[in-house]
Amino acid sequence: EPEVTQTPSHQVTQMGQEVILRCVPISNHLYFYWYRQILGQKVEFLVSFYNNEISEKSEIFDDQFSVERPDGSNFTLKIRSTKLEDSAMYFCASSKRQGLNTEAFFGQGTRLTVV
């Protein structure tokens, strides 16, 4: 069964360093998302991406964050200068279509720990 895959599963980085989280969405999906979940809190939307551009972003997704689809398969989230409060599980998701009946399929997540 097709699935969203994320690498690495766990990333430890020092505060101020740049990190890139990688995702391979389901192959015939057109919409891509990043969500995060701080330990013990609910899943929060970061950004959605369609047709090689950001379609929507939350207030969390500030100038320190960027997304890119560098080739036909990968979808990345970059955090330029990590802060302690960026420590969280980051989930990539993809869906075939947007709007009504948005079924998003999630990856296993990358646990980011900023020290």
Nearer to another protein, 36 or 114 (CB): 36
CB 45 within 8 A of CB 33: yes
Q: Which stretch binds another protein (CB under 8 A): 14-22, 62-70, 75-83, 87-95?
A: 87-95
Where helices occur in 34-81 by DSSP H, the ranges are none
Place of tokens 């990968």: 74
For residue 47 the two structure tokens come to: 């950004």
Measured in residues, the chain has a length of: 115
- Could you report how far apart the first and last alpha carbons of the chain are, in Å? 36
- Longest distance between any two alpha carbons in the chain, whole Å: 41
> Taking Cα atoms as reference points, which of 8, 3, 48, 50 lies closest to residue 27?
3
Binding to another protein, residues 4-63 (CB under 8 A): 4, 31, 33, 35, 42-45, 48, 55-56, 58
Q: Work out whether 76 is an interface residue with another protein (CB under 8 A).
A: no
The nearer residue to another protein, 68 or 103, going by C-beta atoms, is: 103
Q: Closest distance between another protein and the C-beta of residue 66, in Å?
A: 18
Residue selected from 77, 104, 112, 114 as contacting another protein according to rule CB under 8 A: 104
CB of 81 to another protein, least distance (A): 25
- CB 65 to another protein: min, Å: 15
